[in-house]
Amino acid sequence: MNFKRFFAVLKARNLEFWRDRSSLAWNLIFPVLLVAGFALVFSNDPKAEYKIGVLQQATAIDQTSNTLLTTKYLDFVPFADEAAALEKLRHHQLDLVIDLQQNRYWQNERSAKGYLVEKILLPQMSDATKLAVTGESIRYVDWALPGILGMNMMFSCLFGVGYVLVRYRKSSVLKRLQATPLSAFEFVSAQVVSRLLIVLVIASSIYFACNAVFDFMMLGSYWHLLLVTLLGASAMISLGLLIASRSRSEELTGGLLNMASWPMMILSGVWFSLDGAPKAIQYFADVLPLTHLVAAARAVMIDGADLSTISYHLTALTLMTAVFLSLGAWLFRWQGDGR
């Protein structure tokens, strides 16, 4: 090994990184933003361990109305609609549903957290009537599957497109394409379709392979699920193209892609429901494409929803795709750095 050459390359790479002011600034700023985001989302101290739906007409919980509502480490979420609360209980988005006025509660027999929270509250509800949720209970794996597949698609769409585009730009592939009659919109659209086909093949293979083992619940139409997947993947691919539309720096692009993917991974309902979270957080989650992909896929798979039921999510994904793709084509630079 020639250490002279080794240290020459090491010095060159270090100088390249430190002289890239945008990447350096991003590597300093992103961790701060990430910590601040976590502090904002999980600002309740101490964190509630269980989530309980409370049937009442008021939009806020009045803890003075019943001493049970003052129990620590429990998050009480108000519900005016009994059917909506029980639906979330079936989907493991709530651990228990209680009706204090009629002195009764519902439990999902397949929920381990529901069993534990029942034991915690039982001394205070000893004379309450226990009811089980009606209809087929949903396993947690059935509820979590759309989120897991959606998260895998998100990483494939964002990083699979963003890094490729930056690599093309740095290796002068885009510079050569610029000399052809190919327009920016044609190039960007081709990237969307290519990545879309790849994502569909991978996601379908994962789903059917896992389904053969776990036998997932599927009450809706596979055609509807395919449409949701197409629109969701298109929106996230277009977002990846928008993020990488100008930059030549892999470090900066990686940071921006992480900034887009982390909020979606945390706030899009992949692992837990945002019921009971601050309204500002719920509004922010509603502008994330993964939120609509996961919600629509869950509705089709475990609720048997039709197109009219998930029309809001489909419309949101379509609009996001159009906006991201149009902005990506408009901001696109063949060589980056404004050229």
For every residue of 255-274, DSSP letters joined together read HHHHHHHHHHHHHSSSSS--
pLDDT digits (tens, 9 = 90+) for 121-170: 878 877 888 888 866 667 777 888 888 888 888 888 888 888 778 887 87
The 3-state DSSP class for residue 129 equals strand
Name the least confident of 114-123, 181-190, 192-201, 321-330.
181-190
The more confidently predicted of residues 206 and 41 is 206
Indicate the average pLDDT of the chain. Answer: 80
Give residue limits of the domains in the chain. Answer: 3-41, 50-132, 140-331
pLDDT digits (tens, 9 = 90+) for 60-92: 777 777 788 888 888 888 888 888 888 888 877
pLDDT digits (tens, 9 = 90+) for 209-250: 888 877 888 888 999 999 999 999 999 988 988 888 877 777
The more confidently predicted of residues 16 and 329 is 329
Domain over 50-132 is classified CATH 3.40.190: yes
The percentage of the chain sitting over the pLDDT mark of 90, rounded to a whole number, equals 13
Polymer length of the chain: 339
User: What's residue 294's pLDDT?
Assistant: 92
pLDDT digits (tens, 9 = 90+) for 4-16: 765 675 666 567 6
Q: Are strands 96-99 and 129-132 parallel, antiparallel or unpaired?
A: unpaired
Locate all alpha helices (DSSP H) within 122-183, ordered by sequence.
140-170, 173-178
Q: Which residues of 269-283 are buried (b: 16+ CB within 10 A; e: fewer)?
A: bbeeebbbbeeebee
Q: Is 233 in contact with 199 (CB distance < 8 Å)?
A: yes
Q: Is residue 46 reached through a cis peptide bond, with omega within 30 degrees of 0 on the bond before it?
A: yes
- Indicate whether 36 pLDDT > 60: yes
Q: Is 143 in contact with 302 (CB distance < 8 Å)?
A: yes
Residue 13, judged by CB atoms within 10 A of its CB (0-12, 13-18, 19+), counts as exposed
pTM above 0.95?
no
Q: Which residues pair with 287 in a beta bridge?
A: none
Residue 9, judged by CB atoms within 10 A of its CB (0-12, 13-18, 19+), counts as exposed
